[in-house]
Amino acid sequence: MSLPRYWRLLRAQVRASTLTLLQYRFDFLADGFLEILWASTSLVPLFVVFRTRESVAGWSFGEALLVTGWFILLQGILEGAINPSLTSVVEHIRMGTLDFVLLKPADAQFLVSTAKFQPWRATNILTAGVVFVYAFHLIGRSPSLAGLIAAVFLLFSSTLLLYSMWILTVSAAFYVVKIDNLSFLFSSIFDAARWPSTIFRGGLSFVFTFVIPLALMTTYPALALLGRLHGSTLLLALTGSILFALLARVVWLASIGKYTSASS
Amino acid sequence: MRLPPSARALPALFKVGFSEAVAYRAEFLVWMFSTTMPLIMLALWSAVARDAPVGRFGQKEFVAYFLATFIVRQLTGSWVAWEMNYEIRHGTLARRLLRPIHPMLMYAVQNLAAQPLRLVVALPMAVLWLASVGTGQLSRDPVLWMAWAAAMLGSWLVTFFSSFAIGSLSFFMESSVKIMDVWLTLFFVFSGYLIPVELFPPAVRTLGDWLPFRYQIGLPVELMTSAHDRHAALALLARQWAWVALLLLGALWLWRRGLRRFAAYGG
């Protein structure tokens, strides 16, 4: 199994899903518009909160905007590249059509993970960019080079985390089948990531740092951009997410061993 | 005296709807847990109010407000737009059309039949709410509590009729779910679900007063947390029921126009 071959395969898959979506041109435009609307409404609570005060839990408006920017960015990745594919796996498992995927001469996890993309979610990346620029304009300085590099690494690790959590969820579908609404549960929990993690106290704070590491996904990258993240935290986040991905891989392999088609 | 057949069928439909909800209880539970947003907003606003209150909201008021929001959302939710979208696209709507009851009534009963199960989650939350508010803080005015009951019903009707109207759009377009997404986005902003409407700047507040969203969540929650006196409460209630009437007419009109275009694919 060579890397160039998988690269070609990935390109083919992205092309196929883009072409499928372009068939529905109105939808394509409507979705782009909807994305921007959705992203901008996610800023509304922030504006209302900071209308009444300068800082909340130690975060100024500009700094909190950075966290929301990361949230918008990651949501774009989650719903553009991760969510659609994996939702279709659940469907495959239920209908028994996963057989066709398993028969193909390529790694099944790779195939199901790249089955479907929703390219218009890329508008989220633009929106996030605008938010970042505005946030740094408010803060009154630009991020350091080291901060930027750290943020890129964290982007990698949070994408990996999101993806692994999804793989684990899908693995559960081999056992309980009817879980298509887990994606809603997942996104509603993920919604908490739009706020700096320090506003959560007690139990919630523990859950969002260690169980569902939302803090790592949006708050740490924002801290990195601000130059406030320790190098050791960065290292820990990277190792943690790689280990988590490996764990997800092991669980996936174990669950797919349990798969017994639908009709047999 | 004989009841019309549709009225006699209602208890049976209710039973069917309830068993359906119980049969898919795991799924149902996941749905309920995916409406935990108020609890997250609660954490956020408490953090904001830790230093100083926001308007009339201290930490305690925020707890009362968002627990009430959770309860109201649980009890007044409706997912009929998604169901209709699915049934119209797959042609299974034909089965409903064969029955001698208006499909709107069928959907409504099915929706209400899931309510007892929702109480399982909503009731403990209500106890928690009472504990946090303290019974001394509750309004003693029976008119206000009657207004609250009417507002709860009205808020379910606004949600249900708007959802039904958007579901009917599936007759005209492939993706009415997208319209539902737009509706939900506006709902999240203007309904008081994430932010108590009082905290908006005045211009936005006025806009919100005229839109239907506030009457889906905000009004019953405000009545529960005694934000209004009698006069204001009744005025808002009148607006809510005006929306109920308007949305009912709109929903029925869209349904009629759309039904003519319906063809059950594949039978």
CB atoms within 10 A of CB A20: 11
Residues from chain A contacting residue B37 (CB–CB below 8 Å): 188, 191
Q: What whole-number distance in Å separates Cα of residue A189 and Cα of residue A170? A: 17
Query: Model ipTM?
Result: 0.73
Distance from CA of A196 to the nearest CA of B (A): 9
Distance from CA of A157 to the nearest CA of B (A): 24
Residue of B nearest to A59 (CA): B48
Could you say which of B30, B178, B199 has the minimum Cβ distance to residue A185? B30
Mean pLDDT of B214-239: 88
Residues from chain A contacting residue B194 (CB–CB below 8 Å): 44-45
pLDDT in tens, A216-228: 888 888 888 888 8
Could you say which of B34, B48, B175 has the minimum Cβ distance to residue A188? B34
pLDDT in tens, B76-133: 888 888 888 888 888 888 888 888 888 888 899 888 888 888 888 788 888 888 887 7
Distance from CA of B117 to the nearest CA of A (A): 18
| Chain B residues in contact with chain A using a Cβ-Cβ cutoff of 8 Å | 24, 26-27, 30-31, 33-37, 40-41, 43-45, 47-48, 50-52, 54-55, 174-175, 178, 181-182, 185-186, 188-189, 194-195, 199-201
Could you say which of A49, A178, A188 has the minimum Cβ distance to residue B37? A188
Rounded to 5 degrees, φ, ψ at A55 are -145, 150
Q: Do B47 and A56 touch (CB under 8 A)?
A: yes
Q: State the residue for tokens 């004989």.
A: B2
Mean pLDDT of B66-71: 89
pLDDT at B154: 93
Distance from CA of A145 to the nearest CA of B (A): 32
Q: What whole-number distance in Å separates Cα of residue B207 and Cα of residue A116? A: 40
- Residue B16 pLDDT greater than 90, yes or no: no
Residue of A nearest to B48 (CA): A56
- Which pLDDT band holds residue A1 (cuts at 50, 70, 90)? low
pLDDT in tens, B159-185: 999 999 999 988 888 777 888 888 888
Q: State the residue for tokens 């709860």.
A: B152
Q: Do A52 and B37 touch (CB under 8 A)?
A: no
Q: In the predicted model, what is the mean pLDDT of chain A?
A: 80
Q: In the predicted model, what is the mean pLDDT of chain B?
A: 84
Exposed / middle / buried, residue A2 (Cβ in 10 Å: 0-12, 13-18, 19+)? exposed
Could you say which of A179, A182, A204 has the minimum Cβ distance to residue B43? A204
- Which pLDDT band holds residue B33 (cuts at 50, 70, 90)? confident
Q: Do B178 and A30 touch (CB under 8 A)?
A: yes
- Which pLDDT band holds residue A179 (cuts at 50, 70, 90)? low
Distance from CA of A146 to the nearest CA of B (A): 31
Could you say which of A24, A48, A178 has the minimum Cβ distance to residue B199? A48
Instruction: Retrieve residue B257's tokens.
Output: 């126009």
pLDDT in tens, B252-263: 999 999 888 887
DSSP calls for A12-65 = HHHHHHHHHHHTSHHHHHHHHHHHHHHHHHTTHHHHHHHHH-SEETTEEHHHHH
pLDDT in tens, B121-149: 788 888 888 887 777 677 778 888 899 99
Exposed / middle / buried, residue A257 (Cβ in 10 Å: 0-12, 13-18, 19+)? exposed
- Residue A78 pLDDT greater than 50, yes or no: yes
Mean pLDDT of A64-83: 86
pLDDT in tens, B69-78: 988 988 888 8
Distance from CA of A213 to the nearest CA of B (A): 15
DSSP calls for B50-102 = TTS-BTTB-HHHHHHHHHHHHHHHHHH---HHHHHHHHHHHTTHHHHHHSSS-
Q: Do B44 and A38 touch (CB under 8 A)?
A: no
Contact status, residue A63 vs residue A139, Cβ threshold 8 Å: yes
Contact status, residue A221 vs residue A154, Cβ threshold 8 Å: yes
| Chain A residues in contact with chain B using a Cβ-Cβ cutoff of 8 Å | 24, 27, 30-31, 34, 37-38, 41, 44-45, 48-49, 51-53, 56-57, 176, 178-179, 181-182, 184-185, 187-189, 191-192, 195, 199-201, 204
Mean pLDDT of A133-151: 84
Distance from CA of B182 to the nearest CA of A (A): 7
Could you say which of B44, B55, B182 has the minimum Cβ distance to residue A199? B44
Q: Do A49 and B175 touch (CB under 8 A)?
A: no
Residues from chain B contacting residue A204 (CB–CB below 8 Å): 43
Residues from chain B contacting residue A191 (CB–CB below 8 Å): 37, 40
Q: Which range has the worst mean pLDDT, A22-26, A56-60, B9-13, B230-234?
A: A22-26
Torsion-angle region of residue A73: left (phi > 0), alpha (psi -120 to 50) or beta?
Answer: alpha
- Residue B267 pLDDT greater than 50, yes or no: no
pLDDT in tens, A192-246: 888 888 777 777 777 777 777 788 888 888 888 888 878 888 888 888 889 888 9
